[in-house]
Structure 1
Amino acid sequence: MYHSSTFFDLLLLASATVILSLLIFLNYIRASRSKPSLPPGPRGYPFIGNVFDMPSCREWETFTEWGRRYGPITYINLAGEPFVILNSLDTTLNMLDAKSSIYSDRPTFPMLGETMGWDRGLVLSHYGERFRSFRRLLHRFMGTRAAVSQHHDVITRETHRFLVRLLASPGNLSSICGGAVVLDLVYGYKVKDHNDELVHIAEVASLEFSCAATPGAFLVDSLPFLRHFPEWFPGTGWKKLGREWRADTYKVVDTPFDYVQQRRVGFTAIEEGMSEHDADILKWAAVSIYFGEWRGSDTMVSSTSTFILAMTLYPDVMKKAQAELDAVVGSHKLPTFENSDRLPYLHALLKEVLRWAPVTPFGGHHRLMQDDIQDGHLIPEGTAVIVNMWGLLHDENIYSRPMVFDPERMHLADASLFMYIAMILAVFDITKAVDDCGRIIETKAEFTSGLVSHPAPFRCSIKPRSLEAVSLIREANLMEG
């Protein structure tokens, strides 16, 4: 009797266990089916995910192809680190604009941020009080038209100086010094025409920044656990390079800032009684203007070079813009900001420069601060978000013939670049170059990879439109003193 009862109890317990397990399993299946799936993307490998799928050059082309294949949101996994790449304007606005409160953080980049020190600036600053302090300072400096209008005199003066350099050396596009305007406005520093120390420091740091910010450039950004390994461990060679680049980072941060404090001029002059914390915010805000998304030095050089390339390839566009300038300004003086509202085609041309070859082919990185559901897909907390700006600006659903340079479809843009373009077109003709036998050298629209994309080296001919144009350039430079 005892043994029969025990057997029955065990059978009952086993049956209950099986039924309970089955219910749990069915509930798991039901929950799994109702839970949103991750966005589609290339199939990765175990543990490392899509590390080997990340492109090392012309990243925007791969991202655009993924957009065609997988849709507006592409999901990739870099050794456990989730990334999404956005290839749709509507989706980008729905996520980064409409839900900015949860997408305003920045991901952590071991090389660019922790190792090189750029995590102290705006570009990689995590969402919080420091980030908000940066935004307040930058808005005050150049966040409105009224604020920018206060800088028109400096922009005009530096553009006049550029015209003189271009007249003296028309084949040398390195004479473009977009950083001159920013260095003057932010630090009160006047750039020398040749071998300027601050320009050199900025160019070195900018090149290193751009290299380190390129997705997939350093293995540690795809495999963050490598940062905990000793320097003798294979795959950690980035540590020594990162220390060297960190020195260049602090050189570009500290050198112009110290110049300001010695002379008490410029946007970054420390005010009486300012705390050490506020002074640090001011110092890094200044560098953020120079390097960040505020059209600093490298981006200005790229945009102006792209404009010259476009004029070389599309002479009819150049002639139409020059005709508008001649009609509004005349040939006896240089254009000014007062002429701006009467030059709609020039504004359209400028905007098309920025669309045709975006300076930053993939926009700044964002990081999701909590789980989100977008287009029926789960975007997990901590996901890094990259906007494929090149893809958005070459979307055939928005732009007909997106690879063609066509100002007829565009509108308004940036003040500094506007003045560069207006004055160049007012006094110079840009055409294809010819070789020693007089044969035309064909030019192609090719661009470098990286965070900031530049036109690949190309040859062109830049000549004054007339003797009167030469006189205008020289007179303007003399007036600036």
Structure 2
Amino acid sequence: MWDTLLFSIGFLVVTLRVIKALQLGQKLPPGPSGFPIVGNLFQIPTSQPWLVFDQWTKQYGPIFYLNIAGQDTIVLGTHKAAADLLDRRANIYSDRPDYIVLNMLTSGMHWGFSRLDDLWKRQRRRVHETLRAQTAKEYFAYQEIESVIMLDQMLTDPENFLDHFQRASTSLALSIVYGWSPLLNSDHPIISKIDQFNRQFFVAAVPGSFWVEFKYFKWMRYLPRWMCAWRRDAEETFKRVTITLEGLSMDVQKRMDGGDDPTSVCGKLLRNVQKEDFFEAAWTSASYRFARQTSGQLAWFMQAMILYPETQRLAQEELDRVVGPYRLPTFDDFDHLPFIQAMVKETMRWRGIGPLGVPHRLTQDDYYEGYFLPKDTICYANVWSIHLDKNVYGDDAKHFNPGRFLDDNGKLESSIADTRDEGHVTYGFGKRICVARHVANNSLFIHIAFLLWAFNISAEIDADGNRNLPDSLQCKEGLSV
């Protein structure tokens, strides 16, 4: 009986969708021809889809249409198209898809991926107050300390530099969010605990990771629990993680009750919420940690230094001139290190960790450039294509060149239009732009300044004296790369 009912529902949904597609087909943006029922689902590669999307942008134009198993989807491939819709029409383009598995993992409490509702507005407003540009300066001391520890680890154990980046990122987040003292070891158990959840989280955040996420298969959410391993795993993980997060927040509350006034995100949130909102504050605080991927961006920076050694030399000349050999860089040097600032921007542009960004969802029917965009359309900004746009970044857009952000006198130039002075769009668009971007920029600045002040970064030399250069297109994939 259940099988017959579910099949009938699925068949009806598919039939109605096909009829709608036929009615709207002439009005939709151009795009690759798909197959019956599944549309373009099997034409999108599971690995590095942004590269195929880049080719389709060249073929079909700045906006093209996909039907992914019944889900209307558009991909924006230029600065103009992305800014026109996701920024200038943010009121109707700022929702998120219905992440079924991810919302089970977080009970819908992660404000970066939640729907555009009152809960999101409340969480976003609270976190913005703790992470805005001026407030971010309160965390300078934490960031400088983490850079010192990172340098010590790099000196004693250079082989595992990626682990040291991960420790620094996690330790800083725990300091900022919960007022912790720095973690001194890369194998601290809290790091593996957080990273285990992050892996589950980011898998669930990649659209299409589970069949239940596809429009034609959303009926699977109503299957009995015993039939759905993905549901059981998500619900059990949520319970386990909530215990950890509430424990971390409770520790902050106890310190505050004892007279301690920590400069932390969680402390500021707890001071401004009612007791019954403790659960919400615990998850709001934690969402900041899950959104940070500074360690991944530092890994791309290391690769850039190997592939483009001339930029490393120019940065070190600036550091030698401004800082000298007898002290470490500090944030007091910020205004005098424009090339390092440009390096931060260029690292984010050249190989931002989110080449496809996080998808948006259209909340009402819309028209753009003569094309009809139906309500509930999922909108991807192909950040990869946007950052390689020669019309914006010049003929050398595919190369790492911090100088593109400097004038003839070596001063930082006004930023690229529609990037909120970032020079890139890795942090997203509109109402969904990353709220922690000021802290992230500061972390990258001081880490990069420390690394280039202390070290020469070069490729491995093989037995024949040849440099082993990395492939700049290879990466570990997920929602972030």
User: TM-score per shorter chain, which class?
Assistant: 0.7 to 0.9
> Unpaired segments of 5 or more residues in structure 1?
1-31, 454-481
Partner of 1:185: 176
CA distance in 2: counterparts of 1:330 and 1:273, whole angstroms:
44
Q: Which residue of 1 is the match for residue 454 of structure 2?
A: 427
Q: Over residues 242-296 of structure 1, what are the superposed CA-to-partner deviations in whole Å (9 max), with x where a residue is unaligned? A: 345435643563343233234334321364694245433322221221122xxx2
The answer to whether the aligner puts 1:124 opposite 2:113 as a matched pair is yes
Residue type at the aligned position of 2:480: V
Q: Indicate the percent of aligned positions where both proteins have the same amino acid.
A: 29
- Residue deviations 1:83-121, cap 9 Å, x none? 2221111111111111111112221111222x3226211
Asked if 1:51 corresponds to 2:41, the answer is yes
Match status 1:408 vs 2:403: yes
**Residue 86 of structure 1 aligns with which residue?**
76
TM-score calculated relative to the size of structure 1: 0.80
In the alignment, structure 1 residue 69 sits paired with structure 2 residue 97: no
Paired residues of 2:253 and 2:270 also in contact (CA < 8 A):
no
Q: Check whether the contact 1:118–1:249 (CA below 8 A) recurs between aligned residues.
A: no
- Choose the corresponding residue for 1:99, options 80, 89, 94: 89
Aligned partners of 1:392, 1:447: CA distance in 2, in Å? 19
1:390 equivalenced with 2:379 (yes/no): no
What is the root-mean-square deviation in Å for CA atoms of aligned residues?
2.3
| Equivalent residues, number | 412
CA contact (8 A) 1:108 1:124 kept: no
SS at match of 1:338: helix
**1: CA distance, partners of 2:57 / 2:207:** 17
Structure 2: distance between partners of 1:117 and 1:384 = 21
* Counterpart-to-counterpart distance in 2, 1:230 and 1:274: 37
Q: Which residue of 2 aligns with 1:201?
A: 193
**Are 1:135 and 2:130 an aligned pair?**
no
For residues 344 and 209 of structure 2, the distance between their equivalents in structure 1, rounded to whole angstroms, comes to 31
Which deviates the most, 193-202 or 335-344?
193-202
Give yes or no for contact 1:105–1:369 (8 Å, CA) kept in 2. Answer: yes
Query: Which structure has the larger Rg?
Result: 1
> Which runs of no fewer than 5 residues in structure 2 stay unpaired?
1-22, 257-261, 406-411, 413-420, 423-440
Secondary structure, aligned partner of 2:456 = strand
CA change 1:167–1:213 in 2 (3 A) is: same
Distance change >3 Å, CA 372–CA 252, structure 1 → 2: farther
2:164 to 141, 160, 175: 175
Q: Which residue of 2 aligns with 1:363?
A: 357
- Per-residue CA deviations over 1:186-208 (Å, capped at 9, x if unaligned) read 10112432232222221111122
Partner of 2:479: 451
Classify 1:272/1:403 alpha carbon distance in 2 versus 1 (closer, same or farther; 3 Å): closer
Among 208, 222, 230, the alignment partner of 1:238 is 230
Residues 365 and 373 in structure 2, CA contact (< 8 A), matched pair in contact too: yes
Whether 1:40 aligns to 2:30 is: yes
Q: How far has the Cα of 1:393 moved from its partner?
A: 0.8
Give how far 1:343 is off: 1.0
1:2-21 CA-partner distances (Å, limit 9, x unpaired) = xxxxxxxxxxxxxxxxxxxx
* 2:109 and 2:284 in contact (8 A); partners too: no
Residues 411-460 of structure 1: per-residue CA shift (max 9 Å, x gap): 5761111000001101111111124665533332222221110xxxxxxx
- Partners of 1:118 and 1:124 within 8 A in 2: no
Distance in 2 (CA, whole Å) between partners of 1:271 and 1:219 is 38
Q: Distance in 1 between matches of 2:313 and 2:379?
A: 41
Q: CA deviation at 1:231?
A: 5.3
Which one of 129, 147, 154 corresponds to residue 166 of structure 1?
154
Cα pair distance change 1:273/1:250, threshold 3 Å: closer
Distance 1:215 1:62, change over 3 A: farther
Q: Helix, strand or coil: the match of 1:429?
A: coil
